[in-house]
Amino acid sequence: MVAEQALDGTQVRATLRTSEGTDLATSETVTILVDDHGAPARQKAAVTGLEEQYAAGDEVVLEATVEPVSVLDRWEWYLQRPGTDTPALLEDTLTSRLTFEAAEELDGAALFARLTFDDGRAYVESPPVVLSVVPGPIPSPSPSRAIRAPSPRIREPPRSPSQSRPTPARTRTRRPRTRAPPRRRSRPIRARTRPARSPTVPPPGGRRRTSTGRRRVAWTSRRAPRARARSSR
């Protein structure tokens, strides 16, 4: 251990323990006195990990170091924004590493780290570093939310008769002719018609004669007897 001003007034005692952790013996408590004669501490603090430029949204990682090594390990980080006179303590940052997201309003801000005692008294302080932040790239819209402009309709100018496209002629395909089988000529059915018989009217003075078995009618003429001429004999 190297004597440093941080050890001034530190109380030390030694305890002998077994491998199982049982205390066997404990020494008396002694106090360490370091006389610096009013000189500042030998340790020097610094901030490392700063890049030349950040884009908005990038991650900034800074590390605080001290040389030579100190027995203290409590760090406080301070940020001084552009246009302000006093730095502000960044809460919940008591370790040697600081991580945050770069923003455009932090362009030109100053950061420094301070090594302190457990009660918050300052021991050594690093020189400030200045952030350089530029605007980040514009995020492209997601495909689901992208608005597409309608494509303009291109209207073709009217064509002159010479430029008009000839309409293809329609070709008519001829089917092969197939001869139908010869048709049978059907003979017309001639109805046999009998001339209508005129009603049989017996001649005057005639007598109808019928024959048995046949329906025939015969007419016989009955001549009137000639009158005998009376002779003048």
What does the alpha-carbon distance between residue 79 and residue 131 come to, in Å, rounded to a whole number? 10
Supply the pLDDT for residue 97: 96
Whether residue 8 lies inside any domain: the answer is: yes
**Distance, first Cα to last Cα, the chain:** 220
Supply the pLDDT for residue 5: 80
Question: What is the bridge-based pairing of β-strands 88-90 and 54-55?
Answer: unpaired
What SS3 class is residue 221? strand
Whether residue 28 lies inside any domain: the answer is: yes
Whether residue 154 lies inside any domain: the answer is: no
Q: Are residues 16 and 70 in the same domain?
A: no
Residue 5 C-beta-side C-alpha neighbours within 13 Å: 16
Whether residue 143 lies inside any domain: the answer is: no
Q: Are residues 88 and 28 in the same domain?
A: no
Q: Are residues 17 and 93 in the same domain?
A: no
Supply the pLDDT for residue 233: 44
CA distances from 216 to 95, 201, 203, 205, 222 (A): 156, 14, 16, 19, 19
Supply the pLDDT for residue 136: 80
Number of domains in the chain: 2
Q: What would you measure as the largest C-alpha separation in the chain, in angstroms?
A: 231
Residue 186's φ and ψ, nearest 5 degrees, are: -90, 130
What does the alpha-carbon distance between residue 199 and residue 188 come to, in Å, rounded to a whole number? 32
Q: Are residues 50 and 107 in the same domain?
A: yes
- Residue ending a domain, among 134, 163, 195, is 134
- Residue ending a domain, among 81, 111, 134, is 134
Cβ atoms of 36 and 17 closer than 8 Å: no
Whether residue 197 lies inside any domain: the answer is: no
Residue 104's φ and ψ, nearest 5 degrees, are: -65, -35
Whether residue 190 lies inside any domain: the answer is: no
Segments forming the whole domain that contains residue 22:
1-37
Whether residue 161 lies inside any domain: the answer is: no
Q: Please, which residues bridge with residue 220 across strands?
A: 207
Cβ atoms of 109 and 30 closer than 8 Å: no
63, 83, 85: which is closest to 75 by C-alpha?
63
Q: Is 161 left (phi over 0), alpha (psi -120 to 50) or beta?
A: alpha
Q: Is 108 left (phi over 0), alpha (psi -120 to 50) or beta?
A: left
Here the CATH number for the domain that contains residue 103 is 2.60.40.10
- Residue ending a domain, among 91, 113, 134, is 134
What does the alpha-carbon distance between residue 122 and residue 70 come to, in Å, rounded to a whole number? 13
Residue 146 C-beta-side C-alpha neighbours within 13 Å: 8
User: Per residue of the chain (233 residues), what is the pLDDT tens digit?
Assistant: 778 888 777 888 899 889 888 888 888 888 888 877 777 888 999 999 999 999 999 999 999 999 999 999 999 999 999 999 999 999 888 999 999 999 999 999 999 999 999 999 999 999 999 999 999 877 666 655 555 655 556 555 666 655 556 565 566 666 666 666 666 665 655 655 555 555 555 555 555 555 554 555 555 555 555 555 554 44
Q: Are residues 73 and 122 in the same domain?
A: yes
Instruction: Please tell me the pTM assigned to this model.
Output: 0.54
Whether residue 176 lies inside any domain: the answer is: no
